[in-house]
């Protein structure tokens, strides 16, 4: 079950998001998904999050929505020669950060990503745990003080400014 804190942050973000088209293209917190039953083989924490928000776009940090996520599982099968062995049995790709995929480890629900190493993600030999859960990742990394480190965004970034206005930094 998603914590009341996540629900409160999602609601605060929705209330604070400007309605301008330019803003909504790079920053959105959609309504809960009514189609979670269509998401095949996803970790329970991801399904629970969809019941609060059907994905999100928070600057360069994206959580795939219920209609997109199944088609994005190709990330769990990187090209031959990839430095990090991934597979669908152990990993579930739930989004991207600046076009680099991020994953939930099925065994424990932790969140992992390829930190920016100056190479395409599948060529990187760095694959690191970012947080212990999707909830913590959302609260601390996407909507908290670790946002700039996670995304490489600059302090003038729209999402950073929104987080500041909400007292999340």
pLDDT-derived band of residue 46, with 50, 70 and 90 as boundaries?
Answer: very high
What is the predicted pLDDT for the residue at 20? 65
**pLDDT score of 3 more than 70:** yes
What is the predicted pLDDT for the residue at 18? 79
Q: What is the mean pLDDT of residues 40-62?
A: 93
What is the predicted pLDDT for the residue at 136? 97
pLDDT above 90 coverage of the chain, percent: 70
C-alpha–C-alpha distance, residues 116 and 153, integer Å: 12
Q: What is the mean pLDDT of residues 137-165?
A: 93
What is the predicted pLDDT for the residue at 17? 86
For the domain with range 4-164, which CATH number is right: 3.40.50.11540, 3.30.70.520, 2.60.120.330, 3.40.1580.10?
Answer: 3.40.1580.10
**pLDDT score of 115 more than 90:** no
């Amino acid at each position: 079950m998603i914590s009341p804190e996540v629900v409160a942050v999602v609601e605060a973000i929705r209330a604070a998001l400007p309605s301008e088209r330019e803003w909504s293209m790079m920053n959105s917190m959609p309504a809960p998904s009514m189609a979670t039953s269509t998401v095949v083989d996803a970790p329970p924490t991801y399904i629970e999050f969809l019941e609060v928000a059907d994905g999100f776009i928070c600057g360069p940090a994206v959580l795939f929505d219920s209609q997109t996520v199944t088609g994005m599982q190709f990330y769990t099968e990187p090209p031959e020669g990839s430095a990090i062995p991934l597979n669908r049995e152990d990993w579930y790709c739930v989004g991207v950060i600046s076009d680099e995929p991020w994953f939930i480890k099925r065994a424990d629900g932790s969140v992992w990503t390829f930190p920016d190493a100056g190479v395409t993600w599948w060529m990187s030999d760095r694959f690191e745990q970012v947080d212990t859960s999707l909830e913590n990742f959302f609260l601390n990394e996407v909507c908290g003080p670790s946002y700039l480190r996670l995304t490489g965004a600059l302090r003038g970034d729209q999402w950073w400014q929104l987080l500041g206005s909400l007292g999340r930094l």
